Homo-oligomer: A and B are copies of this chain.
C-alpha cells in the first residue's frame, strides 16, 4: 500500500504466544479502511525478528521494535497464552504505557484487556474480556466489569472486547469511529460479515452446560495463572487511584 502522511498508524504490540486472531481479525477489518486509510504496524521486541503467535506456531515479522516504533493513532493489544510472561518484560510494559499516552484509541482484544488492566490503562474504565477471564478482570478495584458478555465496550478512548472473534465486531465499530458509518458498513460488506455460527454456542449465556464445562476446564490453568499474577500485582504494588499509571 502506498503510504501517505495522512494515513492513520495502527499498531499491534506483539509478544510470543500472543493469540493470532486477536491480532489478525482487527488488522484485516481496519486494513479495508479507505477514508482515512490506515497503515498497520506489527510491533515486536525487534523489527524483522520473528514473533510466534498461537495457535499454529505462526511466525510473523514485526515492522518495528518496541524501542523504535513511531507514534500510534490506535494501539491494539492482543491476549494469548504468552500474556503473563509478556507483562514481566519491562520493554513491553513501557511500550504500552508510552504509546497509550498519544494514541486516539487504546484497545484490548480478548485477554488483551487484562494486559491493559495490569499496566494501569483501564483504571476508571468500564471494560470486558474473554468470558473465561471476567472474574480476573473483576479483581481490579479501579475497573468496572460490564455485565454479560458484550462483544466490545467503549469507555472514553479505551475499547475492550470479549473473546477472540469479538475483535471483528470491535474493529468494524472502530472503523466507524475513525471513518464514519458509511465506511464501516462497506467494510462489513467487503468482509462478507454476515456470520452464522454453526452451533449458536458462542458464549456462556447460550452454550449448553456440558460445552461450557469442557471449555472452561481447558482454560482453567490459564485462568488460575492469570488470577495469581493479578493478585500478586495488586497486593505487592497497588496502583494508587490518585495516580493512574498512564497519565503520569
Please tell me if the beta carbons of B191 and A203 are within 8 angstroms of each other in the complex.
no
User: How many copies of this chain are found per oligomer?
Assistant: 2
Inter-subunit contact A60/B57 (CB<8 Å): no
Q: How many residues of A contact B (CB 8 A)?
A: 72
Q: Which of B34, B182, B185, B192 makes the CB contact (< 8 A) with A164?
A: B192
Identify A59's interface contact among B61, B188, B195, B198, CB under 8 A. Answer: B61
Does A184 interact with chain B (Cβ within 8 Å)? yes
**Are A207 and B195 neighbours in the complex by a CB distance under 8 Å?**
no
Least distance between A1 CB and chain B CB atoms (Å): 6
Given known contacts A173-B198, A182-B211, is B193 in contact with A165 (CB within 8 Å)?
A: yes
Q: Return the CB mask of A175-218 against B: 1 if under 8 Å, else 0.
A: 01000011011101111111111111111111110111011001
Chosen A-B contacts, 14 in total, with CB atoms closer than 8 Å, are A20-B27, A24-B28, A24-B58, A28-B55, A59-B60, A151-B196, A163-B191, A182-B211, A182-B214, A185-B211, A186-B214, A188-B201, A189-B203, A195-B195
